Structure 1
């Protein structure tokens, strides 16, 4: 009998040791991920490590004490629960790191330079009789000459060293994929980021294509220096494309916002820009154009045009397509928005058929992804127009932010991390993102959001640079200098916070000692309208 009890005790001890070993391994891996990722503040990691370490020691010491059956069950239950919790945290941290690295493959080095790592693929149709690069000799390969032109040029140089081929260029990957489907090209040179986006946005793309060659690239940029975004005010240009598909498309920008983020005051100024804003387009030799058209020349053109017109730096951009709004809102189980008017709007496929129309009533309500998209696009109601749409877009963004910081976020964070890399592109380095989030987790202060709308100007009819004069004049929005001043003051105030004793103003000249509005004589202001309406 004693021998049987001894054997039972021995088996029980072995089980406990195995469970403790699993907990130790899971803990070491999870804390290693947390430490190397940098998202969780170090003091949090230290506190958690002490708590887990003490728990481990207590559970270990209990192995040397004879416990009643209920005590043994409780000990193992606690051990298993702790292991699962620690492993789950490690899993989500690792997934978060993977997601952020997919969205932005750029990192900031200690000297302020940036290093960008990327993979690039040569993609062909799955049913094509092409197995390697030699099979592409003297055939046509497609390259993107828009937002991913730098990677395309790099791949072109590598391929030219290996085979002879014909070239075909398109402004975006969506057009190149159509060329591949129509056999206008035999292969496409694609970066990994846009390959993944195409797989998510284009039906059966990954099923009907195959990768025959992969290249890796590491590029260091010593020119652009990055701010300490945990302390310094920075700006983000948020661009929403006027199309369904991948965010790399060279198409009109339908939603345009500048976020002025002040990390010291935990405040964001959200500035809506009218898509029809009439300003010098840097891609057309500064001939005046609708701002929405700058998107047709790439995200960099939109950024350069904004910087030149407003005279403030645009530190980062984030670009999304219509798909992303639908997917994000649906993933977080919808948003609560106060809809301003009754209206009906086309669906995401631009269908005005009766069965496809999306109609909403005025008032506070819960919107799904398609409804949120319809609300963000609507502008045809008389008297509502573009300013109304800009207000709607701001309400939607605020609602999304509020949902993401609510306790319910834990229920959909996993799925949100899955879809984010497929619908968002940004030039914010991965370690800048983690550094900012880590700082916010450490401080845990609530954020406030203010809205600045551009609706004090007037509409006019003018020729625009990106449309031939033969097509006639187009409706454009002429900015009012005061609304531009409002943006400049918001940025200046966030960047140069004054002590109360230094605060001053002049009632006779409210803009004294504030940044000056652009004095470019080519700019057409609202006071210069020919036919204001």
Structure 2
């Protein structure tokens, strides 16, 4: 009889030990749910009541003597189960709260990296060997950073022979040609130089022998968003700007992806408007941040002056107010997609790609359903060379990736990878939308469960070669199609006014042209030469001078200051990149015409 009573006591001891722990976990969980402030009231109160009541019932049952075995076993089972559930719940809510804390805790500093670069085969290996050598500088592009590096060299006892240049490309050309031994360059401008075809491999053709990192203050971006609205009642627009960099978001860089997402919470319409990275626009900026306001440049270059400059430039071009901004980079997308366990996309017929030219080490996509991990999703979003439509198809791909990410986030599968997802998204983006408004949107989604209707539009344009202020030289750009711009304005306004963007028809919009055949790349190579990676300021004609001859001619003109070929006081007239074949004489105009 005594042995039987001991067994009964041992059978109930587990629930008695866990009950106090369960009670504490329930209180912590209830407090965290209340403080997180995401659940609508109609869900919050019942959930809190269920947690407290269920815990009290199990606590009473654990300490109440009973001879019914099934009650003791059920109590023990439920106590163990709820202890695990409450522990996991507390972890998820803690991670979620940590995420919102990161959103509001934006970096207050911008990282600036200034490097002294030499050719890869140079004998110069460190700053001490720069003493007495010719070093190129371009004060018109980054006077502050360049001067800081010159002062740093002087503090190290290094005296250099300074050679001034008017543009980054002319300075880089001088380094490649051996006219200078080194050059000082802000790393944020590497992408600009990379876009000029002779210097596509500047990061591997050159090496860094000295580097200076300094920080500049940045106003907290939440305070900068002056167009905040009630996101659950009023329509709003968000600029998604994707930097062409890996790693930290604390550095400014080119805005490689530019998409305006306009949301109307009352109608459930979400319009994604994509703008080509090379769109040639008048630059605008909201404050004195060094941007070249009023000058013409391609959109991607505005990112160097911060996402605020990109935002202001697009607001002026499209005649709208952008309420919020979200800034991401390459690492953001890779980490986020991997944390979600990959995304699924559908590739239409004729749009298959065997190999991504954006990353030739990765498998492309086939027609139909494709599962993409992080790096493949990034390559798919960046791909343009494989398509007849080039950059136009690339922005469609970016919209496809964004939709797939939203689908995965809003699916039950997110629970399996929630911890990884929160860790990834916490450092994946930077936004000036306050965390409180993001919570408002989440409560709105849970309470109303609106069926969002996604619509999309992509602005169009024609390739050209124009002077880019930030580069200080001529480069490939996309000249805006004014009809397309006007349609975009009307579509944006339609969504803001409670209508569907599809109610505005684009009579000139064409269907996707398809992908190039990768069996025969001759046509594709021609298309690549017309994209932004080929920024030759001279059109290519039969019997036209070679690129090397053009460079020699340009350098000679610069050195001789021939007013017919180069005149810095009247640069646009002296340097005419748009020379064309005379249809009557079939002769090429002289270089100065």
| TM category, shorter | 0.5 to 0.7
Contact 2:356 2:380 in 1 (8 A): no
SS at match of 1:450: strand
The match for 2:478 is: 476
CA–CA separation in structure 1 for the residues paired with 2:225 and 2:429: 25
Alpha-carbon contact 2:243-2:257 (below 8 Å) kept: yes
Q: Aligned equivalents of 1:257 and 1:364: distance in 2?
A: 24
Question: Per-residue CA shift, 1:130-161, capped at 9, x if unaligned?
Answer: xxxxxxxxxxxxxxxxxxxxxxxxxxxxxxxx
Secondary structure at the aligned position of 1:227 is classed as coil
Could you tell me which residue of structure 2 aligns to residue 489 of structure 1? 490
3-state SS, counterpart of residue 54 of structure 2: helix
1:450 and 1:441 map into 2 onto residues whose CA distance is: 22
1:230/1:436 contact within 8 Å kept:
yes
After TM superposition, the structure 1 = structure 2 runs for residues 66-465 of structure 1, keeping only pairs within 5 Å, are 66-105=66-105, 184-185=211-212, 221=223, 224=226, 226-282=228-284, 283-340=291-348, 341-343=351-353, 356=361, 358-381=363-386, 383-455=388-460, 457-465=461-469
- Is 1:42 the equivalent of 2:44? no
C-alpha contact (below 8 Å) 1:330/1:369 kept by paired residues: yes
Distance 1:238 1:248 in 2: 16
Report the secondary structure of 2:370's partner residue. strand
Change (3 A) 1:94 1:173: farther
Q: 1:145-201 CA deviation, whole Å, 9 max, x = no partner?
A: xxxxxxxxxxxxxxxxxxx99xx99676999xx9xx96645x86699xx9xxxxxxx
How many angstroms does 1:264 deviate by?
A: 1.8
**TM-score w.r.t. structure 1 length?**
0.68
Q: Which ranges in structure 2 are unaligned for 5 or more consecutive residues?
A: 112-154, 157-183, 192-202, 285-290, 506-577, 581-593
Deviation digits for residues 263-312 of structure 1, max 9, x if unmatched?
22222111111111111012222222111111122111101111121121
**1:466 aligned partner:** 470
SS at 1:235 equivalent:
strand
Contact 2:246–2:331, Cα closer than 8 Å, also in 1: yes
Mapped partners of 2:68, 2:257: distance in 1: 66
> Per-residue deviation at 1:34?
1.1
**Paired residue secondary structure (1:240):** strand
- Higher alpha-carbon deviation: 52-61 or 273-282: 52-61
Residues 42 and 67 of structure 1: is their aligned pair in 2 closer, same or farther, counting only changes over 3 Å? Answer: farther
Distance in 1 separating the partners of 2:67 and 2:491: 66
Aligned 8 A contact 1:173 1:248 in 2: no
Equivalent-residue separation in structure 1 for 2:296 and 2:86 (angstroms): 57
In structure 1, C-alpha distance between the alignment counterparts of 2:91 and 2:447, rounded to whole Å = 21
CA distance, structure 2, for counterparts of residue 104 and residue 295 of structure 1: 22
Q: Work out which of the two has the higher radius of gyration on C-alpha atoms and give 1 or 2.
A: 2
**Count of residue correspondences:** 414
Q: Structure 1's 169 and 385: CA in aligned 2 closer, same or farther, altered over 3 A?
A: closer
Q: Secondary structure of 1:261's partner? A: strand
| CA distance in structure 1 between the aligned counterparts of 2:225 and 2:324, rounded to whole angstroms | 15
**For the residues of structure 2 that align with 1:55 and 1:335, how far apart are their CA atoms?**
38
Query: Displacement, 1:24?
Result: 1.7
State the TM-score, normalized to the length of structure 2.
0.61
**1:48-99 alpha-carbon deviations (Å, 9 max, x no partner):** 1222233233324434351422321111111221232123222101101102
Matched residues in 1 for 2:99 and 2:258: separation? 24
Offset of 1:438 from its aligned partner?
A: 1.8
Q: Deviations over 1:433-474 (max 9, x none)?
A: 12211221122222221111213x4333322222334xx452
Q: Give the Cα separation in 2 of the matches to 1:222 and 1:339.
A: 40
Structure-2 residue corresponding to 1:30? 29
What per-residue deviation string (whole Å, max 9, x for no partner) do you get for residues 310-360 of structure 1? 12111111111112222222222222222352335557xx665xxx25433
Task: Check whether the contact 2:23–2:59 (CA below 8 A) recurs between aligned residues.
Answer: no
Residue 427 of structure 2: SS of its match in structure 1? helix
C-alpha separation in 1, matches of 2:344 and 2:359: 25
Q: 1:120 to 1:35 in 2, by over 3 A?
A: farther
Quote how far apart the aligned CAs of 1:3 are.
Answer: 11
For 1:323, what is the secondary structure of its paired residue? Answer: helix
Deviations 1:365-387 (A, max 9, x none): 22222222222112124622111
CA contact (8 A) 1:329 1:400 kept: yes
Unaligned runs of 5+ in 1: 107-116, 122-163, 195-216, 508-528
The whole-number CA distance in structure 1 between the counterparts of 2:419 and 2:3 is 50
Gap change, CA 1:64 and 1:82, over 3 Å in 2: same
Taking structure 1 as reference, are residues 289 and 170 closer, same or farther at Cα in structure 2, changes over 3 Å only?
A: closer
1:137 — aligned with what?
none
| Aligned CA distance change for structure 1 residues 220 and 327 (closer, same or farther; 3 Å) | closer
